[in-house]
Amino acid sequence: MNLFTESNLSPDLLKAIGELGYEQPTEIQKQTIPFILSDTRDLIALAATGTGKTAAFSLPILDMIDDASRKIQLLVLCPTRELCLQITKDIKNYTKYLPNLKTTAVYGGSSITDQIRSLREKPQIIVGTPGRVIDLIGRKALDFSEIHWLVLDEADEMLSMGFKDDLETILNETPSEKQTLLFSATMSKEVERITKNYLTNPHRISVGSINEVKKNIKHEYYVVGYRQKKEALKRLLDANPNQYSIIFCRTRMETQEVADFLMQNAYAADALHGDLSQAQRDTVMKKFRLKNIDILVATDVAARGLDVNSLTHVIHYSLPDDPEVFVHRSGRTGRAGKDGISMSLIKPEESRKLKQIKLSTKIEIVEKKIPTGEEIIKAQVEGVFEKLFTEHEELFTFDDSLIPDLSAFSKEELVHQLLQLQLRDLALFYKDKQDLADQKLSNDRDDRGSRRDRDRDRGRGRERDRDRGDRSERRSDRDGGRERGGKPKRRNENMTRFFFNLGKRDNLKKMDMLEIINKATAKSKKRADIGDIEILEKFSFFEVEKSFKDEVLKGLQTQKFKGKDMRAEVAN
């Protein structure tokens, strides 16, 4: 059943929204549609993008607008070009069966002459960004002296983007007996001021859902010192593989800095902020929508125009001052029935700000520790399997004969081997890294000296460890290859166990060892049985069928591995 039918909207509008699949009015629509249809008072509606606010204000107005007149009757002002295009598209969809109603979008960063040309069609509806609207008024291409409705959409954003003077200029071009409808996600002081000066006796509507805290979002916070923030961010990204997320920063400079850091570290990331040209912003948003990049670093304002539903994470690289902005940012994830995670990086001195956010939003934000290298590798392994079984699309045909003989490996060994390959860079990065939780939290400059000392000490410690490792390995060498746990291995009577002079540090892998043995015994008609292969740090052990002993010893002498001589001895 289409519950819009009870709203008294005309059949042409009902047909159009029915085709769009709207079945029931959203909360804001339930409140605004009857109000606008029946009341001439001004309106303040607290509602954010995603609540259905465009339809909330446009449907009742479209119902009342005079399509026989060629005068501009409705002006919608909004902060960004993206929103401007979105609203225009929505209105054009709603007016599909009202062919005499014309809507024109006017916004910066696009040819003004083309826009002037399209205004010659005499649209009754203008959707515009403040700067361009003023330019067009200046060129006498727009005349708002007879509008009936003025919509200020995302008023808080327009004001925080510095459009206050522009708004006042435009408002002064409009008649006093119009109805002004102001939509805002937050009620900032500036918004209050505008409403006091330009709205008369407004009716107020607030939709719980805009800043209603979504239950399907988990909120976490991490305390890190200023100097550790970027590394902490890297760890959070690494510990959450397969993510599609927005990282919110406070300033354009910070946004660019963080994005640069991520790009330098080979993440598919990019920046979105006001210092970029419109064309650059469009490109970045397109890349993000198409998932050519999966991490977007953005300012609050720049991210406004972006409407994506499948974000897995929202990361607050810097906390906003306004708790409502925190809710709004976080609400970008957990959409379309999916769960979401919001993670905040908090400097120690920001705990009061966090407390204030918790108090005023009543969100439960749980403290977590920055993941350790070990936890990251674990998460990455899980991520590989998650991807393995969800993104399975056969893009090429694969000839099984290309797979070498892998019978010497167990299934687990093969998986280990593939994971080692896949996660090699990451594992190398975290190998000797001290975990952030062990580092002292400090923004203090003196800390730099002491950290350097600590690093030096750590370096020495590692060297000591390495010496110790050498000694124990040599000992096991003499033992002829005990398991690292010290338990003697049960030997296969038909096999000879060999000591081999190269190991992990020579980049020797099990696969290489197999190939070396196969080559050494290639002349023989019969294939040698190969047993256990154990690659240690500096050398290795392997087992080959007894009768191939001499062949192996000789065959190895003529080979080189990555330029290095090789040598095998029978292990005692």
Candidate ranges 48-56, 335-343, 422-430, 560-568; the one touching ligand AMP (CB under 6 A):
48-56
52 vs 128, beta carbon nearer ligand AMP = 52
Helix/strand/coil (H, E, C) string of 69-118? CCCCCEEEECCCHHHHHHHHHHHHHHCCCCCCCCEEEECCCCCHHHHHHH
Rule CB under 6 A: is residue 202 a binding residue for ligand AMP? no
209 vs 439, beta carbon nearer ligand AMP = 209
Candidate ranges 23-31, 108-116, 118-126, 138-146; the one touching ligand AMP (CB under 6 A):
23-31
52 vs 334, beta carbon nearer ligand AMP = 52
**Which residues make beta-bridge pairs with 249?**
299
Q: Distance between CA 518 and CA 529 in Å, rounded? A: 10
Q: What is the DSSP string of 423-475?
A: THHHHHHHHTPPPGGGSPP---TTHHHHHHHHHHHHHHHHHHHHHHHHHHHHH
Provide the minimum distance between the beta carbon of 353 and ligand AMP in the complex, in angstroms, as a whole number: 29
Q: For residue 168, how many other CB atoms are within 10 A of its CB? A: 13
76 vs 514, beta carbon nearer ligand AMP = 76
Rule CB under 6 A: is residue 18 a binding residue for ligand AMP? no
Candidate ranges 50-58, 110-118, 527-535, 542-550; the one touching ligand AMP (CB under 6 A):
50-58
Residue with tokens 């939709």: 207
Paired tokens of 343: 């993670």
Candidate ranges 44-52, 112-120, 218-226, 514-522; the one touching ligand AMP (CB under 6 A):
44-52
**Which residues make beta-bridge pairs with 74?**
125, 149
The type of residue at 48 is A
Residue with tokens 């540090």: 505
Rule CB under 6 A: is residue 184 a binding residue for ligand AMP? no
Provide the minimum distance between the beta carbon of 431 and ligand AMP in the complex, in angstroms, as a whole number: 47
**Which residues make beta-bridge pairs with 540?**
500, 535
Sheet hosting strand 568-570, strand order edge to edge? 530-535, 540-545, 495-500, 568-570
Kindly report the backbone phi and psi dihedral angles of residue 450, in degrees, each rounded to the nearest multiple of 5, phi listed first: -70, -35
Kindly report the backbone phi and psi dihedral angles of residue 104, in degrees, each rounded to the nearest multiple of 5, phi listed first: -125, 135
Residues 6+ apart with CB under 8 A from 9: 33, 59, 60, 63
Kindly report the backbone phi and psi dihedral angles of residue 102, in degrees, each rounded to the nearest multiple of 5, phi listed first: -120, 140
Q: Work out which of 52, 123, 371, 555 binds ligand AMP, going by CB under 6 A.
A: 52
Candidate ranges 45-53, 158-166, 294-302, 422-430; the one touching ligand AMP (CB under 6 A):
45-53
52 vs 320, beta carbon nearer ligand AMP = 52
67 vs 307, beta carbon nearer ligand AMP = 307
24 vs 251, beta carbon nearer ligand AMP = 24
Q: Distance between CA 134 and CA 175 in Å, rounded? A: 16
53 vs 235, beta carbon nearer ligand AMP = 53
Rule CB under 6 A: is residue 53 a binding residue for ligand AMP? yes
CA gyration radius for the chain? Answer: 33
54 vs 160, beta carbon nearer ligand AMP = 54
Q: Work out which of 13, 14, 16, 25 binds ligand AMP, going by CB under 6 A.
A: 25
Provide the minimum distance between the beta carbon of 285 and ligand AMP in the complex, in angstroms, as a whole number: 16
Provide the minimum distance between the beta carbon of 562 and ligand AMP in the complex, in angstroms, as a whole number: 58
Rule CB under 6 A: is residue 73 a binding residue for ligand AMP? no
Q: Work out which of 7, 16, 26, 63 binds ligand AMP, going by CB under 6 A.
A: 26
Rule CB under 6 A: is residue 174 a binding residue for ligand AMP? no
Rule CB under 6 A: is residue 228 a binding residue for ligand AMP? no
Candidate ranges 25-33, 455-463, 479-487, 559-567; the one touching ligand AMP (CB under 6 A):
25-33
Q: Distance between CA 374 and CA 124 in Å, rounded? A: 62
Rule CB under 6 A: is residue 22 a binding residue for ligand AMP? yes
Rule CB under 6 A: is residue 51 a binding residue for ligand AMP? yes
Q: For residue 215, how many other CB atoms are within 10 A of its CB? A: 8
Q: Residue 279: CA atoms inside 13 Å, Cβ hemisphere, count? A: 2
Residue with tokens 């049960």: 490
Q: Distance between CA 399 and CA 405 in Å, rounded? A: 14
Rule CB under 6 A: is residue 211 a binding residue for ligand AMP? no
Q: Is 562 left (phi over 0), alpha (psi -120 to 50) or beta?
A: left
Number of residues that bind ligand AMP (CB under 6 A): 12
Within 3-79, residue ranges assigned H as helices are 11-19, 27-38, 53-64
Provide the minimum distance between the beta carbon of 153 and ligand AMP in the complex, in angstroms, as a whole number: 9
Candidate ranges 21-29, 120-128, 488-496, 539-547; the one touching ligand AMP (CB under 6 A):
21-29
Q: Are 311 and 340 in contact (CB under 8 A)?
A: yes
Q: Distance between CA 243 and CA 387 in Å, rounded? A: 11
DSSP state of 5: G
Q: Work out which of 31, 32, 54, 124 binds ligand AMP, going by CB under 6 A.
A: 54
Provide the minimum distance between the beta carbon of 22 and ligand AMP in the complex, in angstroms, as a whole number: 4
Rule CB under 6 A: is residue 305 a binding residue for ligand AMP? no
Candidate ranges 22-30, 327-335, 443-451, 528-536; the one touching ligand AMP (CB under 6 A):
22-30
Residues 105-124 close enough to bind ligand AMP by CB under 6 A: none
Q: Work out which of 7, 31, 32, 49 binds ligand AMP, going by CB under 6 A.
A: 49
Rule CB under 6 A: is residue 50 a binding residue for ligand AMP? yes
**Which residues make beta-bridge pairs with 103?**
125
Residues that bind ligand AMP (CB under 6 A): 22, 24-26, 29, 49-55
